[in-house]
Amino acid sequence: MAIMKYLSFIAIVSIALLASCTKAPKSQKAEVKDAEKEQTKAGTTFSLDAAKTAVKWIGTKVTGQHNGTIIVKEGKLITQGNEVVGGECIIDMNSIQCLDLQPGKGKEDLEKHLKSPDFFDVAKYPTAKLVITEVKKEPNGQYSHRVKANLTMKDITKSIEFGANITVNENTITAVSNFNIDRTQWGVNYEGKKDNLIRKEINFDINLIANKSL
């Protein structure tokens, strides 16, 4: 009877722990494949408005999550008519910030760790790059368009595909998307402590603004 009670207790604790685990944000999962051929696209150029563009991230682990921002420092979108057909963005990996921790209370330590070789190794790989390879309309879906792009991090390039809501006006383009990617596809393999494992998924919430170049 004592053994049965002990096993029952362990089972209840295990279920409770599983129930309390923080899951990755519920969002679309970006499809990851081998890098696609990149082609120069002709058309009208819209330059990224770095001051208005926002990229937020969320990373989760067994006991909770952290969230923050990262800066897209430059980029462009190319249109033909009223449709985006190409473009690219350069991401400043040194700009990684954590927003849920306070200075002196873990913020600096986490940011330093994220920039270390355990994660993004920003001293060796100071930038990441996203190059759009294809954009298709998706009028009957949750998003207005499907986007394929080559994402390069840590000198590893993979093609990712995700839905986005893209609006093209005469002088401005807005592109909004939210998706999860598996960081291990880019060699970001740190698992965390055995009792506080870090999930492979990173969530990105992107709001990109670009203005027609003069």
Per-residue pLDDT tens digits for 123-165: 999 999 999 999 999 877 789 999 999 999 999 999 999 999 9
Cα dist. 58→51, 120, 132, 187 in Å?
21, 15, 23, 18
Residue 22 pLDDT = 62
Q: Low-confidence residues of the chain, pLDDT below 50?
A: 2, 4-20
- Domain ranges in the chain are 24-212
Phi then psi dihedrals of residue 165, to 5 deg: -100, 110
Degrees, nearest 5: CA angle 162-163-165:
140
Q: Is 19 helix (H, G, I), strand (E, B) or coil?
A: helix
What is the per-residue pLDDT for 213?
85
pLDDT number for residue 40: 86
CATH topology of domain 24-212: Lipocalin (2.40.128)
Please say whether the beta carbons of 93 and 115 come within 8 A: yes
The predicted model scores a pTM of 0.85
E strands along 27-63, which residues?
Answer: 28-29, 31-34, 44-48, 54-61
Q: What values do phi and psi take at 37, rounded to 5? A: -65, 135
The DSSP symbol for 121 reads -
Give the tens place of pLDDT for each residue, 26-36: 889 999 999 99
